[in-house]
Structure 1
């Protein structure tokens, strides 16, 4: 039985519907059935006295990127109060900005190559087709989720898209990558809890779409990955997600090799409804990580 009080940070109740609501309810119901004193909380709720909590689990604050400065200030405040945060505070800060992909590339990990368009500057994208040896570029904010402000740039639309992007880069930095055609076959997500592999799903976009999220018509398919595939995904977790409750390793297979697209350590969907036993594995990781509280 839990002897401490837990805040599970979720999307605002009135905003959360469908699969995400189902997943969070599964988790909260499971923890409460185990007699944990856990409360669903919205991070920006000014009526909450955070000193009441011993542990804050960052689960699904899906609007944080729209209020990035305020969210980071709130997170720092929780940290300064000495309240345990899962995933760890420093890792959340690092993972919140896609510049982390450059560190991975510099360390020799297999990731989709990137170039960054820093804020406060005007940018010319025309030379990047040759740089990446591609006919299409994908451009998105360095702080984003759910395909917010995501652009597909081709030689035919480059003038129009560059104008739109340069308006946005007045305020925020963007990342540019080659568009990966393999995304049409689906994006793989490997889920780890407490550093241990739990399950893997393939997220397939609907025909004519590249975005795999459920809101864009994507579908979820449970997979049975090989030991080598799990080991490759775990190498990212071992290096960059030490001490994390959850980690989701997203990528695609290119010529038989797994290439990382993103390492999700803040608020990824964990696909509990599609993976029997996964809530129990999450719970086991949680009890291990909080054994000293």
Structure 2
């Protein structure tokens, strides 16, 4: 096993990283090192650095991008590579994937969100319910569902935001997540929000279960991952989580392509994460 460092959230991050650390120690061995991404120190002595637990990076974007620049300049080996992490940090990548032919949840970007921009999006998408979120976000930070006529939240007024039509399937069926390690499919889960909510994160009351996903979902996941690899001119990504749901016509549409710090839900993998460990060992 190579000498590995996993970058983690800042010391004051609100979620408990203990269970995730235990899982990665089980898979990669007790010799792995954990360092906070906000102050990682010299990483040149590691064979591989994995940013798998950099939860909360979106709360200090300048520091995050500065770190990526430093790691690139020092030629630190990261998986996934720095250009992938930089590209995947901003959800404007959805528009690039859409241009390459990937079916994504319809998305508009407002450079400075206003009530007028929301009204225009509602008309364009022909809907009375919108979802807005920052382009650099995680854990549903700054994400809102707005009904027609609701006031624009002050917290996001005038800020750059993504605007999408609300997808009822999130509450009716749930959100599928498909996991790939070294380009090979590992497992899939179905995530559901708490009753009355639309956010699927566990700390917000969401739940998940293992699932056998339809072939059309797997086809979209492969297309999205391979399109990203072509756009970025990179090799096969070491890890990828592909989040999607069905639209009103039953077609699967990409919600997010998670290539930085996705929860990987190894408890739902038939091999317990062995494929992931092998992919890391041979990276």
Q: What is the TM-score when the length of structure 2 is the normalising length?
A: 0.90
1:25 aligns with 2:22: yes
SS at match of 2:282: helix
Equivalent in the alignment of 2:232: none
* Aligned residue runs from structure 1 range 44-55, under 5 A: 44-45=38-39, 48-55=41-48
Choose 202-211 or 269-278, whichever is displaced more.
Answer: 269-278
Unaligned runs of 5+ in 2: 230-234
Cα distance in 2 for partners of 1:209, 1:227 equals 28
CA deviation string 1:23-57 (max 9, x = no partner): 33211232116xxx4201111126x2223323211
- 1:274–1:23: structure 2 CA closer, same or farther, 3 Å change rule? farther
Cα distance in 2 for partners of 1:216, 1:41 equals 27
1:282 aligns with 2:281: no
Match of 1:252 among 245, 249, 255: 245
Deviation at 1:272, TM superposition (A): 1.2
Match of 2:157 among 159, 166, 169: 166
Runs of 4+ aligned structure 1 residues displaced above 6 Å come to: none
1:224 aligns with 2:221: no
Cα distance in 2 for partners of 1:164, 1:186 equals 28
Equivalent in the alignment of 2:106: 113
Equivalent in the alignment of 1:138: 131
Equivalent in the alignment of 1:9: 7
1:270 aligns with 2:264: yes
Deviation at 1:151, TM superposition (A): 1.8
Deviation at 1:182, TM superposition (A): 0.7
Match of 1:236 among 196, 201, 224: 224
Deviation at 1:142, TM superposition (A): 0.5
Equivalent in the alignment of 1:210: 198
Q: Is the 8 Å Cα contact of residues 59 and 267 (structure 1) preserved in structure 2?
A: yes
Cα distance in 1 for partners of 2:20, 2:89 equals 22
Cα distance in 2 for partners of 1:246, 1:269 equals 11
Q: Is the 8 Å Cα contact of residues 96 and 143 (structure 1) preserved in structure 2?
A: yes
Quote the RMSD (CA, aligned, Å): 2.0
Cα distance in 2 for partners of 1:116, 1:69 equals 21
1:179 aligns with 2:170: no
Cα distance in 2 for partners of 1:163, 1:212 equals 24
Cα distance in 1 for partners of 2:114, 2:166 equals 22
CA deviation string 1:115-159 (max 9, x = no partner): 10114x7562212211101110111100000111112222231xx
Q: Is the 8 Å Cα contact of residues 27 and 279 (structure 1) preserved in structure 2?
A: no
Cα distance in 1 for partners of 2:198, 2:95 equals 23
- 1:21–1:258: structure 2 CA closer, same or farther, 3 Å change rule? farther
Choose 216-225 or 237-246, whichever is displaced more.
Answer: 237-246
Deviation at 1:262, TM superposition (A): 0.8
